[in-house]
């Protein structure tokens, strides 16, 4: 849902989503709450890759991926390119946890004389453990709930932050996104995430937590806008989407085509596996040799062969997890 908002600093009207609570005026760049209060802890990460450099970096990366067609960099045509500035809340949380719990331990009896390290009898038992963890966490909360998961998780060089500059975002026609998470909600989420990280630390020491005491103090919290190029290119008759971090050139996410040769190799190898699997099944069933192993191994090979052949035959694009 779109509604109109009015900037309390330059009086311009602009569009905002219904859930947006921290707005950035597209005309003067001032960040403010829906009540009109100016928000000053507003930073950005500077752009170091313009549109052309982002496209080159992307094609370079894609052409190194397994099975990508060799002529992709020459033949890909970019259809869309838009720079978005996505909001992230960064909080420093100082956490201190003390805990008491139980860890699993074991006593070993009667080592086998011929096999060192192997025992006839092992008794497991619970052993009380206690300790503490003091950590300073930097927690990153994406300011848009419906942001793509890969963009949410991509690394942000927060040390390189500078005060937000409206002029810098305008240089590349960047679209600066509002945040639908406010400062207080972000701090609450950061506190919960710090607690979860402390839980992971404790669970690396004990198997059951019996008692714990935590303090999580949320310190410096700021909003940082991070520039990302959202690209779309055409290769052959298909279109592929990609996201590239405009400050680091990091390829966040990219779909790309598989070459014919790669898919043919998948088909060929799949067929070999299928034949091998059928052969093993035949040995087991007809000649009644290695029945157990033949049936299990043969079915598995045949199944793998079918999967590989299916993957080779399908024209579905690949998506690499980085």
User: Which residues in this chain contact Zn ion in the complex, by CB under 5 A?
Assistant: 7, 9-10, 25, 27-28
Q: Which of 247, 43, 66 is nearest to 165 (CA)?
A: 43
The least CB distance from residue 143 to Zn ion, in Å, is: 19
Nearer to Zn ion, 137 or 225 (CB): 225
Nearer to Zn ion, 2 or 74 (CB): 2
The least CB distance from residue 26 to Zn ion, in Å, is: 8
Q: Which of 44, 49, 24, 42 is nearest to 252 (CA)?
A: 49
Q: What residues form DSSP beta bridges with 103?
A: 127
The least CB distance from residue 210 to Zn ion, in Å, is: 55
Q: Which of 217, 180, 213 is nearest to 199 (CA)?
A: 213
Nearer to Zn ion, 2 or 286 (CB): 2
Q: Which of 256, 251, 258 is nearest to 322 (CA)?
A: 251
The least CB distance from residue 6 to Zn ion, in Å, is: 9
Gap between the Cα atoms of 184 and 37, Å rounded = 14
The least CB distance from residue 53 to Zn ion, in Å, is: 30
Gap between the Cα atoms of 237 and 257, Å rounded = 11
CA 74 to chain centre: 29
Nearer to Zn ion, 27 or 262 (CB): 27
Nearer to Zn ion, 5 or 62 (CB): 5
Nearer to Zn ion, 12 or 300 (CB): 12
The least CB distance from residue 160 to Zn ion, in Å, is: 26
Radius of gyration of the chain (CA): 28
- Token code pair at residue 29: 């760049």
């Amino acid at each position: 849902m779109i509604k109109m908002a009015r900037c309390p600093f330059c009086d311009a009207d602009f569009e905002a989503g219904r859930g947006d609570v921290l707005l950035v005026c597209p005309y003067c760049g001032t960040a403010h709450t829906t009540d009109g209060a100016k928000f000053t802890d507003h930073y950005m990460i500077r752009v170091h890759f313009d549109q052309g450099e982002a496209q080159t970096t992307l094609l370079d990366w894609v052409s190194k991926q397994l099975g990508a067609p060799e002529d992709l960099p020459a033949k890909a045509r970019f259809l869309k390119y838009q720079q978005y500035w996505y909001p992230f809340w960064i909080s420093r949380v100082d956490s201190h946890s003390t805990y008491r719990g139980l860890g699993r331990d074991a006593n070993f009896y009667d080592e086998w004389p011929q096999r060192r390290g192997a025992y006839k009898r092992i008794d497991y038992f619970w052993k009380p453990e206690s300790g503490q963890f003091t950590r300073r966490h930097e927690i990153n909360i994406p300011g848009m709930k419906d942001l793509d998961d890969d963009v949410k998780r991509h690394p942000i060089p927060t040390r390189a932050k500078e005060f937000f500059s409206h002029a810098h975002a305008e240089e590349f026609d960047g679209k600066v996104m509002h945040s639908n998470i406010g400062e207080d909600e972000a701090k609450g989420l950061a506190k919960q995430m710090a607690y979860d990280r402390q839980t992971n630390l404790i669970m690396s020491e004990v198997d059951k937590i019996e008692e714990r005491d935590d303090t999580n103090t949320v310190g410096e919290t700021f909003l940082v806008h991070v520039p990302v190029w959202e690209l779309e290119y055409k290769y052959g008759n298909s279109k592929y989407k990609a996201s590239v971090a405009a400050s680091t050139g990091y390829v966040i996410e990219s779909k790309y085509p598989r070459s014919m040769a790669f898919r043919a190799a998948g088909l060929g190898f799949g067929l070999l596996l299928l034949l091998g699997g059928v052969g093993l099944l035949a040995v087991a069933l007809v000649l009644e040799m290695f029945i157990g192993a033949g049936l299990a191994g043969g079915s598995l090979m045949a199944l793998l062969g079918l999967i590989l052949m299916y993957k080779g035959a399908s024209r579905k694009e690949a998506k690499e997890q980085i």
